[in-house]
Amino acid sequence: MNRAPRPIASKPELLSPGGSLEKLRIAFLYGADAVYASGKDFGLRGFAHNLDTEELAEASLIAHRLAKKIYVAVNIFVRQPDLKKIPPYLEYLQELKVDALIISDPGVLLLARKYAPEIPLHLSTQANTTNSSSVEFWQGQGVRRINLARELSFREIAGIAGKSKTEIEIFVHGAMCMSYSGRCLMSAFLNPPRPPRGVNRSANSGFCTQPCRWSWGLVEEKRPGEFFPVQQDSRGAYVFNSKDLCLLEEIGALARLGIDSFKIEGRMKGPLYVASVTRAYRQAIDRCAYRGRKTEYRVETNWIEDLQKVSHRPYTKGNLFESAQTHNSNVETRISYLQSHTLAGLVRPSPDCDPMSEDPGAGGKILVEVRSRLVPGRRLEFLYPDGSSASHFLDSFEDINGNRLSEAHPNRWIRFCVDFPVFPFQAIRVSNETGPAAET
């Protein structure tokens, strides 16, 4: 007879990417407890939309209005000229009362303690924390939470979490870097600064061009034409062309370790990714047993379907288990992404509607901002935070002035009738079976 899993003292936080105000709102609507975002500078996703100073202020207001949290990444490895620019930025973030700073550079830590002492500090995975002694060290420096290095196994995470007096966070889903916890020089070497802008495309400055996702083969100098695989060893993953991380099946086991926060990678991903992945992991976390409630954790088919219907590379559990620490299980030989569905559009609020209202409308004629070309005859799926979806056959639609249209291109607003409730910023997906379409 199988025993029910041990109840967990408190529910882990679900931390989702907020690469823009739009995606931040969507993450909250689909179940995120907190989001992480970045300003225009000092974050490790320089090619993401990111938030300007006014948008950061609005993001903080949105989060706190919903009783949610926002963490701001200031996790670049700082160069000398940056030292004068960061203090006023930190002071501004303290004025906004953001809920944490995500840092990796010890110099930024010192500046944060001086110029934003009221903001809790979270340590990025780029700091390469791989043992409990390092956790203790960072705790002594005033760090409240540590995102562990991605190279760790389940057993190592369990050992660290069991001894830690500080909060522990891990990545559970998304793209993985080929280098040790994201410290990489490949982008800088292969993409040197070019006039007129002269941008340094270093991954550690936030401008990674993801060259490890290109198609590669290693050739030894004296053996032309012979291609060799890139190997790993027991101390970590050193790979090109990594698969995407997916730990959905292990959420129950990880929650029982006492992990405080499960983080989803993807500030550069689109709204469909944010909505689909967030709601899948929201359902998974809520399925675990908390405070004496005895519910067996099991993965539902619709959670898996959500993850399969976003643009992704084949999934892997990374280095979580020793059996998975092989070249073939973590590395994908193809360069293309799998994308069975795309973002058809987002429901937009009517002019007299509260744009952050979570109250579904009463159905009828709705406004949709198109994100992929639409024509009559497509079947749309409207995604709900509880994991359900509503199907709608798009037989006709019109522009906002009531003119009937035969097609609609991205960024156009259209109207049509549905017989179910919707809400602002609801994600709508459509199958790519009639042809590929890129999420925008």
CATH number at residue 411: 2.40.30.10
Residue 91 falls inside a structural domain:
yes
Closest CA to 407 of 440, 437, 374: 374
- CATH number of the domain to which 226 belongs: 3.20.20.380
| 67 shares its domain with 104 | yes
Q: What predicted TM-score, i.e. pTM, was given to this entire model?
A: 0.83
Query: Is 270 a member of any domain?
Result: yes
Residue type, 52: D
Same domain, 135 and 233: yes
Count of domains forming the chain: 2
The answer to whether residues 65 and 356 touch, using CB atoms and an 8 Å cutoff, is: yes
CB 270 within 8 A of CB 22: no
> Could you list the pLDDT tens digit for every one of the 440 residues in the chain?
344 455 566 899 999 999 899 999 999 999 999 999 999 876 555 445 679 999 999 999 999 999 999 999 998 888 898 889 999 999 999 999 999 999 999 999 999 999 999 999 999 998 989 999 999 999 999 999 999 988 889 999 999 999 999 999 999 999 877 665 555 655 555 555 554 444 455 555 555 666 665 555 667 677 777 666 555 444 443 455 678 899 999 999 999 999 999 999 988 899 999 999 999 999 999 998 665 555 678 999 999 999 999 998 889 898 888 654 444 455 555 546 788 999 999 999 876 555 555 444 445 789 999 999 999 999 999 999 999 999 999 999 999 999 999 999 999 999 999 999 999 999 999 998 764 444 43
Give the N- to C-terminal CA distance of the chain in Å, as an integer. 49
- Which residues have CB under 8 Å from 166's CB, separation 6+? 135, 138, 139, 143, 144, 145, 146
Residues 124 and 194 in one domain: yes
- Regarding whether 302 and 250 lie in a shared domain, the answer is yes
Same domain, 190 and 300: yes
Q: Is residue 6 part of a domain?
A: no
The arrangement of strands across the sheet holding 427-431 comes to 389-394, 378-383, 427-431, 341-348, 364-370, 413-418, 398-399
The reply to whether 277 falls in a domain is: yes
Which structural domain, as residue segments, surrounds residue 265? 13-330
Would 160 be classed as within a structural domain?
Answer: yes
Query: How distant, in Å, are the alpha carbons of 111, 309, 310 from that of 314?
Result: 40, 12, 11
